Structure 1
Amino acid sequence: MILGRRSSRLPRTIRALLPGSPYATAELADGRWAVVTGAELLVASEEGVTQRHPWHTVERGRWDGETRTVTVTWVDGSRSPLELRTASDEVASFAAALRERVQASVVHSDAAETATGAQIKVYIRRDETGALLSQVTVTGTLRGDGEETRVVDEVERRARAAVGLPT
């Protein structure tokens, strides 16, 4: 399900820069706009689109009403979270659309636990081109031994096989 498209306040100059109609927008405190599209989260200004984040790279978005900040974290954890300070606290449709697009990129998931209690999760996600890929995340600490490697490989193999990807 795609949420209602609410972007009536988005300036025409910025709308003209977008690759299609936005699902939802949020004006940022610095005058830029955060835009939810079908393929990615964009940050745009009058000068152009300054950031593009395909949904399969986004782990989650979190709204903090006290600071009026949407914090976006990344699946690979390799970079700092994106913090988007909004111009107002009227971001319910934006936050809902962001969550819906992240969830829509997940096709299948599987999980396992290692002997030491580390949680292994494998997500099969669709990228912006429509291709499927697998992502492995770990909560906890891995020792890196052969048994843990076997658990990680097995849960990824199961997840990939469930959607017809090569294992």
Structure 2
Amino acid sequence: MAPAGSGDATLLILGSLPGEASLKAQRYYAHPQNQFWRLLGHSIGEELDAIGYADRLDRLAARRIALWDVVGEASRSGSLDGAIRGATPNQLRDYAAKHTDLRAIAFNGKTAARIGRAALGDLAGVELIDLPSSSPAFTLSFAEKAKRWIELGPLAWQPEAATLGR
């Protein structure tokens, strides 16, 4: 799937590879038990899980947040990251080079971090953040996951802050 959210991102959140529900719906984090929208919403102070998908992407764009995946092509039976075989990474370095306002890249889970960090290499000026997976297969409690995801809040551009100085 193509990157979604902001075209001028300051924060890029990378998953590993969309699961079956997401591929079928052509929407990021479409599985109803995936905690992604709830975790991200909690970290930026918005209830993203309570609004429609198009509105979610609009909110991400307003906050200069983009979504993508580290894997562009692979074979996998089912939706578990452990079943990914023959992964070819997306062109993450090219994305970072074209998005010069990018301040941070967050990896949603260990597989995304492992593949993404290898594909990106040394990326000067961009903070790399490993997060616990939002997947329901990763059984850490929401509260424990949220303790780590909350660090994305200050990295998300605040539209209201841009107008305060005017």
- Name the TM tier (shorter chain): under 0.3
TM-score, normalized by length of structure 2? 0.25
Please identify which structure carries the higher strand content: 1
Which is bigger in relative contact order (C-alpha 8 A, separation at least 6)?
2
Greater helix content: 2
